[in-house]
Chains A and B, each alone.
Chain A
Amino acid sequence: MTDPSHSGEQRADQGQDAAAPPRGERSQRAVAIAGAVAGHARRPRSPGGVIFSIEGVDVSYGGKLAVRDVSFDIREHEITALIGPSGCGKSTLLRCLNRMNDLIPAAKVTGTVDYHGQDLYGPQVDAVEVRKRIGMVFQKPNPFPKSIYDNIAFGPRVLGMKGEMDEIVERALRRGAVWDEVKDRLKTNAFGMSGGQQQRLCIARALATDPDVILMDEPCSALDPISTGKIEELMTELRESYSIVIVTHNMQQAARVSDITAFFTVEAEDDSGNRVGRVVEHDETEKMFTNPSDQRTEAYITGRVG
């Protein structure tokens, strides 16, 4: 590695007088560093307005607090990842965003969840309309026991959506990145699809009702790496038109796909001893995975606890 002409290190110093102020080559480096910092955004994105404004949200099941005092905004064209250990309330919070918790009689949500500036839990709000605008994809692919076509058409039919149904179905399947694989067998049963295809079908089904938000609860944990890669790729494409909130146990997945990460943790309450989830840190994903602000985030994402 040593240059025989003892000029190895001096290449960078060519033309420099030995008595010139030393470390002169640093100026170029400093410029390069400044440039790298300015251009560090890893992909083009243009976060828009606030879609969800979550403020002081508590959720309890049967009087027992599950998650406390959650506050953050979710913006247009952003993928937000919710991470944290089991029982930290991340899925619970996700389910608040399209009123899925309404389906659990003992669940109670307090605080405010504004959706486009409107109280999601206001008395005039129709939960069915909410779930049309805010689609959800679950951990295990859950196609209806129907044909591929009918899976997609189900929502639009129930909602009486206008337009040619074949077009609606094709558009949704294309957006779900599954069209090319199923276009010749639309009338066959959806259970004949592979797990990864079923999951993309479920995403397409959620997209068929023209939502603007897609909630994903561990959408890849039952899939192999190739299917996972396809879904992650799809999420990045969908971000152009939708906002995505994803709950994931796969830290690397959160790092790969999301723009913003919220880290939840679960701690025992001082008085009751109940284990209650809360948000510890909410920040840009890149910041979170290179230089988190909170020690608990650091410990969790580096795998020192868990």
Chain B
Amino acid sequence: MPLPTPNRAHFQEQLKTLEISALGGLDLVGESFARALETVAHHDVELGSMVIADDDRIDGRYLEVHQGILSLLALQAPVAGDLRLVAALLHVIKHVERMGDQCVNIAKLVPLDGHEPPADDEILSNIARMGELAGSLVVQAKQAFERRDAELAQDLVRQDDEIDRLNKACFRRALEIGDDADAREWAMHLMLIARAIERVGDNAVDIGEQTAFVVTGLFREFEDASHPELSLDARR
């Protein structure tokens, strides 16, 4: 068979644009997430309000990509690899929107502690570490998708496990925080922040699952909490 001659160039262009736009949403999330973490680290309520305001951009991106996907499905009837890509992008942009919401959740929790809360260094440092890991998962999820690199996508699980471990450590530390009402309230809020960070990591892993789907045509979860024995790691 002769070498494929490029065809449907206009459609391919549209599909590429849609992918760039959806994955660009991960850049927006990355920025917003970094600011949300800074809000926590420096108890910077003003920065937090910027994170909240900026979520409109992420939501706008969601609507834009969603509409683009609908148009492409209606007008171009993509099939095979193209169809898998379009379906995956619909998931990706939803995860992007979810991660944006988690950044807002974090930003909204910070002012609730009042001025100079009774902070615990161990919890703060655990959360900072979780934030670093989750932030790098967002970057890696984007790279893996762009490069159609299923192995890099699978690797997201490894880092996510570390986030989960730190999340549990935060919880244990919060239990030991003592009887002081303010300290307990602070620890409670920080638990919610840890949870939000942990969810960002999960969304990044879910994007990795979509990458694997685009590449292999098979969808399966990298990790299944209800059947841990079936996770890919356990099968290795």
Q: Look across to chain A and name the residue whose beta carbon is closest to the beta carbon of B15.
A: A302
CA A55 to CA B180, docked complex, whole Å: 83
Q: Look across to chain A and name the residue whose beta carbon is closest to the beta carbon of B201.
A: A22
Pair A19/B8 contact, Cβ less than 8 Å: no
Q: Look across to chain A and name the residue whose beta carbon is closest to the beta carbon of B87.
A: A290
Q: Mark B62-76, 1 if CB is under 8 A from A, else 0.
A: 100000000000000
Contacting residues of chain A (1-54) with chain B, CB-CB under 8 angstroms:
1-3, 6, 8-10, 18-19, 21-24, 26-27, 29-30, 33
Q: How far is the CB of B61 from chain A (nearest CB, A)?
A: 11
- Cβ of A303 within 8 Å of any chain B Cβ, yes or no, is yes
| A30 partner, pick from B62, B101, B224, beta carbons under 8 A | B224
Pair B101/A290 contact, Cβ less than 8 Å: no
Which of the listed residues A33, A292, A302 has the most CB atoms from chain B within 10 Å of its own CB?
Answer: A302
Pair B62/A289 contact, Cβ less than 8 Å: no
- Cβ of A182 within 8 Å of any chain B Cβ, yes or no, is no
Pair B195/A18 contact, Cβ less than 8 Å: yes
| B8 partner, pick from A267, A268, A304, beta carbons under 8 A | A304
| A303 partner, pick from B8, B194, B218, beta carbons under 8 A | B8
Contacting residues of chain B (1-60) with chain A, CB-CB under 8 angstroms:
1-2, 4-8, 11-12, 52, 55, 59
Known pairs A22-B198, A27-B226, A305-B5; A3 contacts B80 (CB<8 A)? no
| A298 partner, pick from B80, B164, B172, B221, beta carbons under 8 A | B80
| A24 partner, pick from B55, B84, B105, B226, beta carbons under 8 A | B226
What residues on A are CB-neighbors of B199 within 8 Å?
Answer: 9
- Cβ of A306 within 8 Å of any chain B Cβ, yes or no, is yes
Pair B78/A2 contact, Cβ less than 8 Å: no
Pair A267/B1 contact, Cβ less than 8 Å: yes
- Cβ of B81 within 8 Å of any chain A Cβ, yes or no, is yes
CA A3 to CA B198, docked complex, whole Å: 18
Q: How far is the CB of A154 from chain B (nearest CB, A)?
A: 40
CA A306 to CA B167, docked complex, whole Å: 54
Known pairs A6-B105, A19-B168; A27 contacts B1 (CB<8 A)? no
CA A2 to CA B172, docked complex, whole Å: 29
Q: How far is the CB of B138 from chain A (nearest CB, A)?
A: 15
CA A8 to CA B224, docked complex, whole Å: 22
Q: Look across to chain A and name the residue whose beta carbon is closest to the beta carbon of B167.
A: A22
What residues on B are CB-neighbors of A298 within 8 Å?
Answer: 80-81
What residues on B are CB-neighbors of A21 within 8 Å?
Answer: 164, 225
Pair A18/B171 contact, Cβ less than 8 Å: yes
Pair A306/B7 contact, Cβ less than 8 Å: yes
CA A194 to CA B6, docked complex, whole Å: 39
CA A292 to CA B225, docked complex, whole Å: 31
What residues on A are CB-neighbors of B181 within 8 Å?
Answer: none
- Cβ of A251 within 8 Å of any chain B Cβ, yes or no, is yes
- Cβ of A127 within 8 Å of any chain B Cβ, yes or no, is no
What residues on A are CB-neighbors of B223 within 8 Å?
Answer: 23, 26
CA A22 to CA B227, docked complex, whole Å: 13
Q: Look across to chain A and name the residue whose beta carbon is closest to the beta carbon of B103.
A: A2
Q: Look across to chain A and name the residue whose beta carbon is closest to the beta carbon of B112.
A: A6
- Cβ of A265 within 8 Å of any chain B Cβ, yes or no, is yes
Contacting residues of chain B (183-236) with chain A, CB-CB under 8 angstroms:
191-192, 194-196, 198-199, 202, 217-219, 221, 223-227
Q: Mark A98-136, 1 if CB is under 8 A from B, else 0.
A: 000000000000000000000000000000000000000
What residues on A are CB-neighbors of B164 within 8 Å?
Answer: 21-22
CA A301 to CA B105, docked complex, whole Å: 44
CA A301 to CA B191, docked complex, whole Å: 51
Pair B167/A19 contact, Cβ less than 8 Å: yes
Q: How far is the CB of B62 from chain A (nearest CB, A)?
A: 7
What residues on B are CB-neighbors of A305 within 8 Å?
Answer: 4-5, 7
Known pairs A290-B217, A292-B80, A303-B7; A6 contacts B224 (CB<8 A)? no
Contacting residues of chain A (145-164) with chain B, CB-CB under 8 angstroms:
none
Pair B105/A8 contact, Cβ less than 8 Å: yes
24 contacts between A and B (CB under 8 A): A1-B62, A1-B97, A1-B100, A2-B55, A2-B59, A2-B100, A8-B101, A8-B105, A9-B98, A9-B196, A19-B168, A21-B164, A22-B167, A22-B225, A23-B202, A27-B227, A251-B79, A288-B80, A289-B83, A290-B80, A298-B81, A301-B79, A302-B79, A305-B5
**What are the nearest 3 A-B pairs in CB distance?**
A27-B226, A291-B217, A19-B171
Name 14 extra pairs, CB < 8 A, besides A19-B171, A23-B223, A301-B79: A9-B101, A22-B164, A26-B226, A27-B224, A27-B225, A29-B221, A252-B77, A290-B79, A290-B217, A292-B80, A298-B80, A301-B80, A302-B78, A302-B82
- Seen from chain B, the residues whose Cβ lies within 8 Å of a Cβ on chain A are 1-2, 4-8, 11-12, 52, 55, 59, 62, 77-84, 97-98, 100-102, 104-105, 108-109, 164, 167-168, 171-172, 191-192, 194-196, 198-199, 202, 217-219, 221, 223-227
